[in-house]
Structure 1
Amino acid sequence: MMTNRIVEYVFFFGLMAVVGYIVWVMLSPFVSALALAAIIVTICYPLYERITRRMPRQNETLGALVTTIMVLVIIIMPLTALFSTLVNEALAVYNQVNTNGAELEQRIAGIESMVYEYAPGFDFNLVDSVKQATSWITSNVGAIFAGTASTIFSIFIAIIGTFYLFRDGPAFTRRLVKISPLPDDEDELILRRLGRAVRSVATGTVLIALIQGSLTAFGLWLFGFERFVLWGVIAAFGALIPSVGTSIVLIPAVVYLIITGQYLFAVGLSVWGMTAVGVIDNLLGPYLIGRGNNLHPYLVLLAVLGGVSLFGPIGFVVGPVAVSLFLVLLELYATHIAEDTSPSDDETVTV
């Protein structure tokens, strides 16, 4: 009898593993889109609840539709426009490097000679670095444009997923808690902390980086720089690096203005970087990040880089959230499971 029961379990879980693998293979191309939808719903769910309460008979379908349209207009469309602009500027840089490569190298060599004059010990070949960057752009620009169509399709899937998660999210969460082998209170703790992590990362560290990148891009545009969107995105990534921040873009920009004799613009950009950009980090940063469970900035940087490499642009948020979830599980293990498996006082062996 026991043997038959074991065979049943082996067959059942083996069949589940095979079917689960097939389902994963089918759905894996849409993981990033579904993750984007889940993040948007987690952040905007209070808005959905307020809108639904104002709908006729509190119609959840109509509330989900209205909220999804608002998300589309406020979040997804600007992000799509930003991505399109970024791709166009990357292509412009690629074409400029290809057509004016020799002239660009001469200008860089002139900058190097000025640097060596004031700092003889400076050992950095800027021309070779630009050549390496050019080579990287040449090898990757095709992949950037090849992924544009798939990105548009993923956004479409994310919009549909956002609607259904708004409407059916609570029922899905209840089903997930029901089938989980963990106690319900621990499942609810994980879901609650995961939601807090999503809101903390999205409205804290990542939002601050995006604001700083936007202000940097505006300052570069204000003081006459081209490709300011591209440099703003680089500054946003730099804002995630402890003790570096947007200076990774602003300092070279100020140096360039000084070298080219635009001293007034150099002073203006310096003041802009220290005030408008710096105030966000020093005043708004602690307020936003302190509202949720915060990760160490270096851990956020690694999580963002790893998330982007694995999931694409949505990894900007998914990476830190995944690390936050892992830390929550470790905390749950330390506070609940490890205590349950530790030997009791009666079982302690004295030597």
Structure 2
Amino acid sequence: MMSGFNNKIRQIFFFIFIVALGILLFSQLYTFFPGFLGALTLYILSRNWYFKLTFNKNRNKSATALLFMFAFVACIVVPIYFAVQLLYSKIEHVLKNPDQIYSALNAVSSQIKDWTGQDISQSDFIKELPKRLTGFVPMLLNSSATLVGNLLMILFLAFFMFTNGQQLERAVSKFLPLRNENIDILAKETKMMVRANALGIPIISIVQGLVAMIGYWIFGIKDFVLLGFITGIFAFFPVVGTAAIWIPSVIFLFSSGENGKAIGLAIYSAVVTGNIDYLARISFLKKVGDVHPVITILGLIVGLKLFGFLGFIFGPLLISYFLLLLKIYTSEFGKESSAAEYNKVLEP
């Protein structure tokens, strides 16, 4: 009895030591945690294609993994790089020539004052705008450096995940304290969630950004490419959404005397840009996997605080995974505990 008790104490202390060491390692590698999530996402999305090439067609594992890395850089990294460069160059230009942004803000402020009687030009936000923009540049540079580090981590980890995929999956299945059927459910649901979050949400934003950019171009908005890009970013937010960009653009057109263009852009944005995501959800995203707007909102709140820009993708993924783990826990332990309680009640 004493020996069993001592073994239990040793087990508890050993477990506490493992947890403490894990917390220490995670706290030091926290900055690169999005890189791990990104590598895992890339592996899950490309796993079937990679296995078909390496096992069915007997292609070299390392060469095939490098091919997938190149495709990832060409399709994801290069567009992100040019988008960041576009945004940074525009902010730098505004800081060097602030009169343009002030004149636009004054025009919008005058139009809003005519409509509502409220003078927003005296608001703290307008007064502190130069300071906000000046502080945004180093924040953008710092975020870019972190983003580059995580992208390199994605490539590094994904290469080893691909080349050692089968051994890795067997090891994970071995250490998961779940029944085989729940492990299968976990794998299937994980694949669906990753596709929904890593493909579905960005696709909606890209589509809305492109559609909005076309509208800005049609109705004569300058910098329509940049505004389309920013509109695509705001499309991640289900509540505020693209209206946070196109409504000020419409007001600016009204304030410039372009009433016809303003009405046209308002109709186009409300009817086309504002509803294109619903068309995407009921068509393409039903095949990829849809994400409930509540999960998206909560995921964005969590993800942006934890991971910065990459939180747009991984925040909703964490929320979805949390809900999945609750479902698995109920399936794994809920029935057993209910059966045990039921048997206990039946005991004489």
What is the aligned partner in structure 2 of residue 308 from structure 1? 304
**Alignment partners' CA distance in 2, 1:134 and 1:299:** 35
Residue type of the alignment partner of 1:65: L
Aligned with residue 180 of structure 1, among 176, 197, 200 = 176
**Closer, same or farther: CA 109–67 of 1 in aligned 2, 3 Å:** closer
| Conserved 8 A contact 1:178-1:184 | no
1:139 aligned counterpart, secondary structure: helix
**Alignment partners' CA distance in 2, 1:208 and 1:278:** 11
Is 1:327 paired with 2:323? Answer: yes
**Alignment partners' CA distance in 2, 1:76 and 1:53:** 28
Is 1:115 paired with 2:116? Answer: no
For residues 268-313 of structure 1, the C-alpha deviation after alignment (integer angstroms, 9 at most, x for no partner) is 5346435653563232222233336644313312312320221122
**Closer, same or farther: CA 94–74 of 1 in aligned 2, 3 Å:** same
2:141 aligned counterpart, secondary structure: helix
Deviation of the 1:244 alpha carbon? 4.5
Aligned with residue 11 of structure 2, among 9, 16, 19 = 9
**Closer, same or farther: CA 200–174 of 1 in aligned 2, 3 Å:** same
Residue type of the alignment partner of 2:345: T
**Closer, same or farther: CA 156–10 of 1 in aligned 2, 3 Å:** same
Is 1:78 paired with 2:79? Answer: yes
For residues 13-52 of structure 1, the C-alpha deviation after alignment (integer angstroms, 9 at most, x for no partner) is 2442344344334432321112112222222333334443
What is the aligned partner in structure 1 of residue 38 from structure 2? 36
What is the aligned partner in structure 2 of residue 273 from structure 1? 269
Residue type of the alignment partner of 1:31: F
Identity of aligned residues (%): 23
**Closer, same or farther: CA 279–109 of 1 in aligned 2, 3 Å:** closer
| Conserved 8 A contact 2:201-2:313 | no
**Closer, same or farther: CA 50–254 of 1 in aligned 2, 3 Å:** farther
Residue type of the alignment partner of 2:40: A
Is 1:347 paired with 2:348? Answer: no
**Closer, same or farther: CA 43–94 of 1 in aligned 2, 3 Å:** farther
**Closer, same or farther: CA 76–117 of 1 in aligned 2, 3 Å:** closer
**Closer, same or farther: CA 3–309 of 1 in aligned 2, 3 Å:** closer
**Closer, same or farther: CA 286–17 of 1 in aligned 2, 3 Å:** same
Q: Which moved more, 1:209-218 or 1:269-278?
A: 269-278
**Alignment partners' CA distance in 2, 1:21 and 1:243:** 35
Residue type of the alignment partner of 2:153: I
Matches within 5 A, 1:1-351: 1-52=3-54, 57-97=58-98, 100=99, 105=102, 108-120=105-117, 123=118, 125-128=120-123, 129-221=125-217, 223-242=219-238, 244-263=240-259, 265-266=261-262, 269-270=265-266, 272-273=268-269, 277-278=273-274, 280-291=276-287, 294-342=290-338, 343-348=340-345
TM-score (norm 2): 0.84
**Alignment partners' CA distance in 2, 1:277 and 1:125:** 27
**Closer, same or farther: CA 196–188 of 1 in aligned 2, 3 Å:** same
**Closer, same or farther: CA 220–50 of 1 in aligned 2, 3 Å:** farther
Residue type of the alignment partner of 2:127: K
**Alignment partners' CA distance in 2, 1:130 and 1:147:** 25
**Alignment partners' CA distance in 1, 2:120 and 2:207:** 33
| Conserved 8 A contact 1:241-1:298 | no
Residue type of the alignment partner of 1:62: A
Q: Which moved more, 1:274-283 or 1:252-261?
A: 274-283
**Closer, same or farther: CA 221–165 of 1 in aligned 2, 3 Å:** farther
Residue type of the alignment partner of 1:17: V
Deviation of the 1:127 alpha carbon? 4.2
1:290 aligned counterpart, secondary structure: helix
**Closer, same or farther: CA 133–335 of 1 in aligned 2, 3 Å:** farther
Deviation of the 1:199 alpha carbon? 0.4
Deviation of the 1:324 alpha carbon? 0.5
**Closer, same or farther: CA 8–242 of 1 in aligned 2, 3 Å:** closer
| Conserved 8 A contact 2:216-2:265 | yes
**Alignment partners' CA distance in 1, 2:72 and 2:32:** 19
For residues 64-84 of structure 1, the C-alpha deviation after alignment (integer angstroms, 9 at most, x for no partner) is 121221121122211222122
Q: Which moved more, 1:187-196 or 1:318-327?
A: 187-196
For residues 165-201 of structure 1, the C-alpha deviation after alignment (integer angstroms, 9 at most, x for no partner) is 2222332122011012222322332232122111012
